[in-house]
Amino acid sequence: MPKVKIPTPLRKLTKEQAEVDANGSTIRDIVDDLEKQFPGFKERMCDENGDLRRFVNVYVGEEDIRFLNGLDTEIPDGESVSIIPAVAGG
Amino acid sequence: MSDFTDEQVNRYARHIILPEVGGAGQRKLLDASVLIVGAGGLGSAVAMYLAAAGVGRIGLADHDAVDLTNLQRQILHTTADVGRPKTVSGAETINAINPGVDVVTIDARLDSSNASDAIAGFDLVVDGSDNFPTRYLLNDACYLAVKPLVSGAIFQYEGQVTTFNGGRPCYRCLFPSPPAPGTVPNCAQAGVFGALAGTIGTIQATEAIKLICGIGTPLVGFLLLYDALEVRFNRVRVTRDEACPLCGSSPEIMRLIDYEEFCSR
């Protein structure tokens, strides 16, 4: 079961957990499972067309899924998933 | 060592003795110019370390006055500075640390009309701004001018740092466009852990000093992430995006853009 790193802005939804387990073999599965576990999660990550929002990146290991297979990117065994939104504070 | 004054030899002794920096690196620092955009939490740490390192000319761009709520993290300013322009207070602190630094202040908000002029004449730019419009503006201006940009950002307990070398990839390869107004809370609404600004700003200063001296490996092509609550560093790849609207194979952005201000205090 892949471990998903949750960024600070989304931790309100995950009861302040920085890392959660999610079921699925692709990022799409993971997002759906996170929505089941934490209602409201998907809307923070995806737009109304179901595409990843342009200021939220998802990485499998070190790699940005936009340069892999997008939401259909498979998650290799033991690889972790990181969700990283753009932040602007200074 | 003849081109250093006795005072400089003593002041910079701990850098000069490092084999990688040495007298040659210190000379590069003394001859270098860096524009710091934002004299806030990140800019404070950047400005103080670059001043201490002897960067010859430091530009400080900010249009705000010091507010009491800034002092929890903006260590460039003191209680006595509340109400004063941040550039003025910042310049004083820089020169108190190192009178040898020539400080150039830009007391204006950067936008498409003045950003290119502001960065011209500086060897590199450090982004310590507090809003998305300025981040995209600086990225575009630095890419178009082929100028290195050390980018840092913080939110609550989390920080991000990366270095763009004036080429590809750029910030838009990482995040193609800014969030829509109102979709992302800002620091004033969400809070920010004060010491985090020092951690991230200090990494930005480290990157700037390395770039100037030409030592080590810059954080080009990687985004460094720091989670202060979990004390965890993580690194992900910043990939060149062929579809990038600025630096991709068919660029759409040829001049600077003013995005709607939506993350101001």
Average pLDDT over residues B173-183: 82
Q: Which domains does chain B have, with CATH numbers?
A: 32-263 (3.40.50.720)
Average pLDDT over residues B62-89: 98
Q: What are phi and psi of A24, to 5 degrees?
A: 140, 160
> Quick one: residue B214, left, alpha or beta (phi over 0 = left, psi -120 to 50 = alpha)?
left
Q: How far apart are CA B161 and CA A68, in angstroms?
A: 23
Q: Min CA distance, B247 vs chain A (Å)?
A: 16
- pTM, to two decimals: 0.95
**pLDDT recorded at residue B201:** 98
Q: What are phi and psi of B177, to 5 degrees?
A: -145, 155
Q: Judge: B230–A18 Cβ closer than 8 Å, yes or no.
A: yes
Q: Which domains does chain A have, with CATH numbers?
A: 3-85 (3.10.20.30)
Asked whether the ipTM of the predicted complex exceeds the cut of 0.90, the reply is: yes
Q: Min CA distance, B126 vs chain A (Å)?
A: 11
Task: Note the pLDDT tens digit of each residue in A2-54.
Answer: 999 999 889 989 999 999 999 999 999 999 999 999 999 999 999 999 999 98
Average pLDDT, chain A: 94
Task: Note the pLDDT tens digit of each residue in B187-222.
Answer: 667 899 999 999 999 999 999 999 999 999 999 999
Task: Note the pLDDT tens digit of each residue in B22-55.
Answer: 999 999 999 999 999 999 999 999 999 999 999 9
CB proximity B228 to A under 8 Å: no
Residue B5: how many CA atoms within 13 Å on its side-chain side? 6
Task: Give percent above pLDDT 90 in chain B.
Answer: 90
Q: What are the DSSP calls for B80-93, one per residue?
A: GGTTSBHHHHHHHH
Q: How far apart are CA B184 and CA B246, in angstroms?
A: 23
Q: Is the pLDDT of residue B154 over 60?
A: yes
